[in-house]
Each structure stands twice: as structure tokens, then as C-alpha cells.
Structure 1
Amino acid sequence: MKSVRTPFLILLLLASISCQPKNKSDNQEVAQTNESENHSIAKLSSEELQKYKTAYFASGCFWCVEAIFESVKGVKEVYSGYSGGFEKNPTYEEVSYGRTHHAEAVEVYYDPETISFTQLVQVFFGSHDPTSLNRQGPDRGAQYRSIAFYKNDKEKKIIQDYIAKLEAENVYGDRSIVTEVTPFEKFYRAEEYHQDYERRNPNNSYIRNVSIPRLNRFKENFKSYLKEDVH
């Protein structure tokens, strides 16, 4: 019986740990946790960011996705936020409860001389399950869906060609890729306490049990893509 009960207990634990707040008090606790464990993290200025290109992706809780892209060489800055919907100025509470059409997403500033958009697409697909519909890990709902945004026809083709390659190589077996390939329209940055959340809150239960293991799996599979100071 032990071999049956143990996986069940693990699933039960993960089900209780989610990027989504269960009520307003949980929302407040997220902010308070950030304040209590705050670490000073330097961010590039608006003028400095203008030197780089941007890319946008959604693949589950933005705390996880932000940390993954921040570990990649050539990526200069990453912001957590909301995209893919039409509602203006969405809030974390609205998006996380599924009250908008937006998904939790990230804005990636990158140096194209160091890393290409194609490689960022590879990072995107290699760091989550693109066959999981409206779910990533313990997080469920359309707000956690998989989306690869494009800003022009060239980027659209790169995404579509890579999906075709994954399918031709039968990477996911009989599971279909459900990633949305969507034209980019607007990105709304999330509230300040969400930015660099994993680095600021290493002791948060979600970060310890979901985000860090996901990041470590990515680092193990994409060693050549990592910044020199990432281990």
C-alpha cells in the first residue's frame, strides 16, 4: 500500500500549493511575505531597456517563468505581468481568479547579439509542458495557459516551425501541443511585489516545492544556455 499512498500524498500536497490565492487574505499574505523577505535587486532603467528587444511568453505561474528566463544568457531583464486578454489594467486578483481573459505572462528583454528569438522559443517550450491545456503543474485555469506571442510574421514563423519540428520528432508522443500562437498586443506589468518573486521569497512554500524544482529541471537540460553565474 505504501507505493500507492505516497504518490497520492505528493499529489495532495501539490494540490494545496498553488500560485493562485484562495481568498483575499492569501493575496495579502503574498505581499506581506515579499515585504518580510525582501532582497534588494537592481533593475535596469527604462533608458537602458530601450537598447534591447522584447519577447513575450505565458507558461504557467509567472513567478516560475520569470526565474527561468532570468537564468538565460543574453536576457537582460524580465518582468511578470498579464497579457492575452482585452481587459485594461488587470490586477492579480482578477487574473488569478480567472475573471479576465488574460494569462500570467512575462516580458523578456534580451540582447539579440547573444541570444536569438529562436533560442528563446526553445527555452519556452523546453521549460514547461505545452501539451497541458489550461494547466501547468498545480496551477489550473485559462490564466495559466501556454501562449507564445509574436510581434511580426518572422517571429510567428519561427514559433510555428519549431512546433512543427517538435511534432515531427514526436517529442510528446501522442499528446498534442496546445500552445496558442498569438499576436502580441499589450502587456500589463504585475504589481511590484510579484517582480523577482522567486529570488525575494526563497522560503515561500510554492517557490520551494514548485518553482525551484521547475527551474532546476530547466537548468539541467539547458546548461549551455545559462548565464555564467547561474548554477
Structure 2
Amino acid sequence: MKTVGIPFVLLLLLTSFGCQSKNKSEKPELVQKEELEVSKKESFTESELQKYETAYFASGCFWCVEAIFESVKGVKEVYSGYSGGTENNPTYEQVSYGQTHHAEAVEVYYDPKVISFTQLVQVFFGSHDPTTLNGQGPDRGAQYRSIAFYRNDAEKKIITDYMAKLQAENVYDRPIVTEVKKFDKFYMAEDYHQDYERNHPNNSYIRNVSIPRLNRFKANFQSYLKEGAH
């Protein structure tokens, strides 16, 4: 997207709400007390999660993406992290400032008896703009690129077939630039990033970017939402 002609004030506003802004890098202990007063979330042990399937996606700030998949029925747990690059044990500072080849990504544990991988792919494409190269919303850089990861040929076919369907139906005005990438490894993000939207609803990035994005998704995918997530 060209920025020529966009008022300086608007550019400044977008920058202030970006994922690399001070507001996003704040750790929980620096956030106001009222942001911690949130609803409790069901938790699962590692052994309990092993009963479920996993899927991996990247589509911008992982705070936003985690919250979207958490709202989907059949999804048991979602973790924020890093994937798609070659560097071992990346940190948030390295990834968010484009110092690695990784993207902010999520690991989704889901019950295939309730939600299918095909439906998760639909959630992925329906909750972001897959025609934006190296960015999403106010966030720019390859660390925020769109990636649909697959673990086997069947998952790859589901992704590519759905992309072809979207293109054939002219759902978007521009070509889809989503990477279809073989899953290799997922690195868990630092603890303070997990459930960030839930735990910090008053953070300015959450209020102005994450929550509106989540609400747009909910409006279009009501039949996919968990009970009480409408």
C-alpha cells in the first residue's frame, strides 16, 4: 500500500498502534492494575493437549490471531510464538524488529470431532487480509506476513484448494500472497505474550487494533464461535 499523500497525523496514529510500539512491548508488571481484572480461562495440562490435533498459522500480530482462534468452537488452546524461520530459540525482540526470518505465529490445539482443519483454514483466511505482503493492519515487516503451515500433503491440498477457490470467486481485488509452508518448528513466545488480549484489554493496541479485528471476525463467523463468544 502506498503511503504517499496520507496525512502525517494518520501515519503517526498508525505507528503509535503498531506491534513494535512501546504499548506492545510492555510487560504485565508495567500495565495498569485494572487491565488484569479479566475472566478466567479453562486451562489444560500438556498431557491433556496431546489428545488433540495441532495447526499453525501466521497472520500479523500474534495477540490478535491468538484471540481469534481462541473464540472458535473445538479449539482447546492457542499459544503465541514464532515459526517460519531458520534461527533457533528466537526472542520477541529479535522477531518483532525483523532480525530473524520467523513470523509471529500461533499454535492451535483443536478437536477434529468439533472443528476440521478445513474450517480452521477458513477462519485463517477470513480473519485477515491475505493480499497484504509483509504486514497486517498497522504492523509492517516480514515478521507479520501471512503463512498457512501444513504438516502433510492432505493439509497442503486443503490450503491450496481453498486459496484457488477464493481466487476463482474473486473474493479479493488483489492476488493472495499467503505463503503455504511446510511446518518445521514452533517456538513458544515469552510468557507475558500468552493470552495477552484477554489479560490486557485496556492496552491501547488491544483496544484499537486487536479487539476491532476480533469483532469483525465474530460478525462474519458466528456459526463457528464457542458458546458465549458471540
Structure 2: runs of 5 or more not aligned: 1-5
Map of 1:131 onto structure 2: 131
Corresponding position: 1:30 with 2:30: no
TM-score by length of 1: 0.91
CA separation of 1:26 and 1:170: change in aligned 2, threshold 3 A: closer
Could you say what the CA RMSD is over the residues aligned between the two structures, in angstroms? 2.0
Following TM superposition, where does structure 1 have runs of at least 4 consecutive aligned residues deviating by more than 3 angstroms? 6-12, 33-42
Shift, 1:42, TM fit: 4.2
Matches of 1:34 and 1:191, distance apart in 2: 16
Matches of 1:110 and 1:89, distance apart in 2: 25
SS at match of 2:15: helix
Shift, 1:26, TM fit: 6.9
SS at match of 1:14: helix
CA separation of 1:88 and 1:210: change in aligned 2, threshold 3 A: same
Contact 1:33 1:201 in 2 (8 A): no
Map of 2:159 onto structure 1: 159
Map of 2:150 onto structure 1: 150
Q: How many residues are paired up?
A: 223
TM-score by length of 2: 0.91
SS at match of 1:77: strand
Shift, 1:13, TM fit: 1.6
- Residue identity in the other structure for 1:95: V
Map of 2:114 onto structure 1: 114
Map of 1:102 onto structure 2: 102
CA shift digits 1:163-196 (9 cap, x unpaired):
00000000102x0100000000000010000000
Shift, 1:78, TM fit: 0.2
Contact 1:66 1:196 in 2 (8 A): yes
1:1-231 to 2 correspondence within 5 Å? Answer: 9-21=9-21, 27=25, 29-33=26-30, 36=33, 37-38=35-36, 39=38, 41-173=41-173, 175-231=174-230
Contact 1:21 1:96 in 2 (8 A): no
Shift, 1:18, TM fit: 1.2
